[in-house]
């Protein structure tokens, strides 16, 4: 919104405010496709009730309310969080939310859609892991660095993080014994 970003790849919740504030100023599109597919990270959330919860009936009622299609539609409309149960989104969604729906739907519905889980097992190194992706994007896209050389250099940094944390591979990669190997 400050005019400092021309293209953004981010979690829909962080894009929502700008899209809702000025839907005519933005365009959404599916995640780009690469050699193995159009990767995206769905957010998987769960609800549970502690075994010793003082009001289990109230907790059950709360979860049942949250999972109602009409509640899910309201959360989509107000928060930009997409339904986790069968719920048809109405045509009268705010323009910015429609943009989010369009971008997410095109990504998830693409013939080469590839579900990627959030990185796990990185502990305190999660920020360093993310920085590898930001640095790679900036080098290649913003500064025109050679793609293969940049990927190869960043792979060394990424492998160091994987080795230090002993983080195993996560989907869509196959499970690993020990630290995931960067290819």
Reported as a single tens digit per residue, the pLDDT across 53-103 is 999 999 999 999 999 999 999 998 888 888 888 999 999 999 999 999 898
Residue 124's nearest CA partner among 179, 153, 175, 167 is 167
d(CA 6, CA 58): 46
Taking the chain, what is the end-to-end CA distance rounded to the nearest angstrom?
37
Q: In this predicted structure, what is the pLDDT of residue 163?
A: 97
Residue 106's nearest CA partner among 44, 172, 38 is 38
Residue 43 in this model has a pLDDT that exceeds 80: no
List Cβ neighbours of 74 (8 Å cut-off, separation of 6 or more).
none
Going by pLDDT thresholds of 50, 70 and 90, the confidence category of residue 162 is very high
For the question of whether the overall pTM of this predicted structure is more than 0.85, the answer is no
Contact 117, 175 (CB under 8 A): no
| Domain residue extents for the chain | 1-116, 118-183
Provide the token pair at 85: 């149960």
Provide the token pair at 76: 């989509």
Per the listing, tokens 């107000």 go with 78
Strand 38-40 and strand 113-115: the pairing is: parallel
Least confident of 8-12, 20-24, 116-120, 171-175: 8-12
Going by pLDDT thresholds of 50, 70 and 90, the confidence category of residue 118 is confident
Provide the token pair at 102: 């369009």
d(CA 139, CA 137): 6
Of 171 and 147, the one with more pLDDT: 147
Going by pLDDT thresholds of 50, 70 and 90, the confidence category of residue 5 is confident
d(CA 52, CA 174): 37
């Amino acid at each position: 919104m400050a005019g400092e970003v021309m293209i953004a790849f981010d979690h829909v919740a962080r894009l929502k405010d700008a899209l809702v504030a000025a839907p005519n100023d933005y365009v959404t599109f599916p995640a780009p496709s690469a050699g193995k597919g159009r990767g995206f990270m769905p957010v998987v959330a769960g609800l549970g009730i502690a075994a010793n919860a003082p009001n289990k009936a109230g907790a059950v009622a709360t979860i049942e309310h949250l999972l109602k299609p009409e509640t899910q539609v309201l959360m989509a409309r107000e928060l930009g969080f997409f339904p986790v149960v069968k719920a048809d989104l109405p045509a009268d969604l705010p323009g910015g939310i429609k943009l989010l729906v369009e971008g997410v739907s095109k990504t998830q519905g693409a013939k080469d859609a590839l579900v990627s889980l959030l990185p796990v097992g990185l502990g305190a190194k999660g920020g360093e892991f993310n920085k590898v992706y930001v640095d790679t994007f900036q080098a290649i896209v913003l500064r025109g660095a050679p793609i293969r050389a940049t990927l190869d250099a960043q792979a060394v940094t990424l492998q160091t993080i994987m080795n230090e944390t002993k983080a195993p591979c996560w989907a869509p990669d196959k499970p690993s014994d020990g630290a995931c190997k960067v290819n």
